[in-house]
Structure 1
């Protein structure tokens, strides 16, 4: 009894070492979707108050009740009714007759991989003004305590998988009949407890994580909203599968011999279902090839659980307690299992990294990529140690003591515990593909300028500011920001550095103060635009601006 407890304590110590890896490698939790465009565009000045605001994200999102607001220039609510979502697009209806000035849009939604996405944009009607006052930080923050506990909870879930999947497989297929199953049974029940506990913790944490509240500021309604989301549904499935598996495991754990092949087959099905719940609430669901990523991630988790869980059983029970004849039969089979699991780990891990990192620069210039490199380095060490242990298995005679092999297995467990910690941190960090999506926004290729003289203010929108076909909008206002009727518009574009003389831009008068035009700009460079707005037979204003066309 005391020996079994000592071995179990050693395994739990390894898990504690891995948790240190979580604490050292976990950075700030980051949103994994990105706002790629908005209408009106961020920072734009529009001539008339729109009847809605549209936000477009890089992946599908879910709404959080009460977490999307539009504030008018006087800081009063300008939105009307509840926003709606259609895949990647969120539409916010606005009150009619909005005042002139700058509006503030604050948003907080949940991305496809269960992480909150929060931020702000501004737009102005007629002319810019002082932005509305609002506690933007409170609207977009994540409580630091919640942020710190989430990766620890994920790590405990991974540890539970390790103590559940691998030990069950060894107990069902490799365990000598004469040995007691009490110690492995405790280990497996510990794994079940860790998976259940981490799942319940994840459901609780998801409420303050998405709402930006404190750890203990969770209400019944908040939990109800979580359970009604995709994340909550997946967590409930995980709990149901694990509880069902626990009932089927009882005969196997007591060694009564009453377990049937059907029971073992059902356990296998439940194991696959449980493993699938991890990628369904993480990065794979938001991958460009979601189906492939979900399968690869489940394969990665299965291989990890079989390999590490088998190592735990080998170190804690089989090597100390099995005799030479039993080890001679068990170790070669285990060696083949380990080789297969490691091969699956490498294959699934490499392909997943290629999908998430998406570029060589992302591997070195992002926190996600650097953690991938750390994980690869640690995995390489573990694989080298595993290769040495397999060589020991082949070379060891049945009479030799497995003491050296135990030391090697312990080294494997210690390093892989830290790898688990790095993995738990990785799922909280935005992959480079999300960062790249956030940089390809519509506002990056739109130029908005306001040009003024003593009698007129001219707003100019040019989009996209790239080589090719370009559209232009011109809006005229009086010095006190009222629409200024224009009798005639003229505009030209020139690129003096490349010897391109002024090209006339055809303009179409839409309203008294609004004109549009189109031009095909043939080359990149610093283009000079000249605008003339005639307001009467004798009055006109001329403006010039330089725009960098890419």
Structure 2
């Protein structure tokens, strides 16, 4: 019996997948953040309490009753009047405060839901201080240093000089060569003639190459221990520029192939199998075979419905654990909860109402892109990507459902009739479906990951799942071409071979849907790698930039200018909401400037601004978006 065979094979596959996952070493990752800007900003000291808390995200988000929570330094919760989405900007959240905040420290906890159903959590800390305490306290900062950032000195300097805008205490300072080895220095000394000037002498002569200086300092007169140290990094070179290198990579740390596999991913897998098979079987019955004898209230239909029900329960349990502060009624109000329940209702109606079965199943199927995957994100294509995902699902469902239909039909006495009529028709539908699957799959892949290297693609969970899906799809295509030849033979022996191959395809289909469930819970950006300029030419100046290598950690940034002569280059790297660093680039030859060091501190999307000063004293600015590959995403 087909149901017994299907259950037996699926149990074997399910247990195998669970064992593979259990055997994989767990990894701990940071949840990716979509928050780009806040008011107040992180760590900001306000002289009067804000009337609103505001948050800007990269993509639209979904609110729930506990999205914004504000507490004082004593842990007392502060009630907010309301939290709403800006009607003119769906990425902008506004929380209105009821009362003015008194002086003190405050912490806001932000919990919103992304368009694919993932819960995103962030924290915001700020202070409200009395105005009297802020008077006559200029911001502590460094004015200049020697050697200068980006300077190539002639010979080894004997000392470092740091000038601040007020007397300073150096709490820590380190100098490192291009192999990241520490350089011996003396204790910082305050210049007796200028209390704002700190001198640090070297204990050794510096060889040729690049050097990194990292210092921590605070105002000497400050008695506010809550203020953090000011931290800065600058680079200089002796005689020539060299790239800062990692002395030893060490042994690579083992990681799971698919670390995101878990309760939610398993739920999506069962959900996909059940709902796609139900629609595909109904499509086979109503469109391909055109004889209403399949998928009555059979054991198989209820077994597939049980798959969908189990999958929905697993996903909802995982989501409720992420939103445990919400009441049951509040949880049910989320579209990521009521839409799956609506899908279950549509499937039940389809099973019991024969005439509208195909429409009910289609409606349930086409709701999937609205609550799973990444198609709903505007940056991943919006409505067009939703349409392509819907086509992808329809085509895959026709193929999967048809395979199950072949195994449940025909009876022995009807084999030849089935072979002559229905199998050729399904073969044409299956071949067309595979064509649509391949075309839409390629579109989705290129839309989600427009730029990558083989290394960045294969190292990511999302990329691995795509590659494995492609391999399995190619195998299915080859099997399908062989089956089309067998069908033309019109013999019982050929039919037997076709059925055996269909059993293999069923296993491949289950694996394809497994990898599809991994795609839903993983991040496309982890496979992406590229530099995207907003403009590459301004005022007769062209700029070409290159990171080598473009990945997390140590990099060399090379900037080549053509056109008007460039004398000075400043680079700003910014990762919302709070990270920003500025560097002055080394001029290594005419028109070529370089930076080296730990420029890309985290995987994710980073904004870069290059300001070039021409020989005529004019300033030209170029903007870029830099995408760094990696699973632990920031600003996405």
TM normalised by structure 2 equals 0.57
Contact 2:449/2:527 (CA < 8 Å) preserved in 1? no
Summarize the alignment of residues 486-505 of structure 1 with structure 2, pairs less than 5 Å apart. none
Report what 1:107 is aligned to: 110
Report what 1:358 is aligned to: 450
Contact 1:72/1:78 (CA < 8 Å) preserved in 2? yes
Between structures 1 and 2, the one with greater strand share: 2
Report what 1:381 is aligned to: 475
- Which runs of 5 or more residues in structure 1 are unaligned? 133-145, 214-220, 250-262, 448-463, 470-494, 502-519, 525-550
> What is the number of equivalent residue pairs in this alignment?
424
- When residues 344 and 390 of structure 1 are mapped into structure 2, their CA distance, relative to the original with a 3 A threshold, is same
Report what 2:275 is aligned to: 161
Report what 1:300 is aligned to: 392
Alignment partner of 1:274 out of 346, 349, 364: 364
Contact 1:151/1:425 (CA < 8 Å) preserved in 2? yes
RMSD over aligned Cα atoms: 4.2
Summarize the alignment of residues 57-206 of structure 1 with structure 2, pairs less than 5 Å apart. 57-77=57-77, 80-86=80-86, 87-94=90-97, 95-99=99-103, 103-125=106-128, 130=226, 148-173=262-287, 185-206=298-319
2 CA distance for matches of 1:152 and 1:197?
10
Alignment partner of 1:207 out of 320, 323, 333: 320
- Which runs of 5 or more residues in structure 2 are unaligned? 135-223, 229-259, 533-572, 583-606, 623-636
- When residues 326 and 466 of structure 1 are mapped into structure 2, their CA distance, relative to the original with a 3 A threshold, is closer
Contact 1:38/1:442 (CA < 8 Å) preserved in 2? yes
Alignment partner of 1:441 out of 550, 567, 576: 576
Alignment partner of 1:397 out of 490, 503, 506: 490
Report what 1:416 is aligned to: 509
Contact 2:282/2:295 (CA < 8 Å) preserved in 1? no
Contact 1:28/1:147 (CA < 8 Å) preserved in 2? no
| Greater RCO structure (CA 8 Å; 6+ sep) | 1
Q: Name the stretch that deviates more: 105-114 or 351-360.
A: 351-360
| Deviation of 1:69 (Å) | 2.7
| Deviation of 1:210 (Å) | 2.9
Q: Deviations over 1:469-493 (max 9, x none)?
A: 9xxxxxxxxxxxxxxxxxxxxxxxx
TM normalised by structure 1 equals 0.65
Contact 1:29/1:147 (CA < 8 Å) preserved in 2? no
| Deviation of 1:321 (Å) | 6.8
Q: Name the stretch that deviates more: 312-321 or 149-158.
A: 312-321
2:578 is paired with a residue of what secondary structure?
helix
Report what 2:142 is aligned to: none
Between structures 1 and 2, the one with greater helix share: 1
Summarize the alignment of residues 218-229 of structure 1 with structure 2, pairs less than 5 Å apart. 222-229=327-334
Q: Deviations over 1:198-240 (max 9, x none)?
A: 33544444322333x7xxxxxxx73311221222332233123
| Deviation of 1:371 (Å) | 2.2
1:83 is paired with a residue of what secondary structure?
strand
Alignment partner of 2:346 out of 241, 249, 254: 241
Alignment partner of 2:376 out of 285, 299, 316: 285
- When residues 521 and 377 of structure 1 are mapped into structure 2, their CA distance, relative to the original with a 3 A threshold, is same
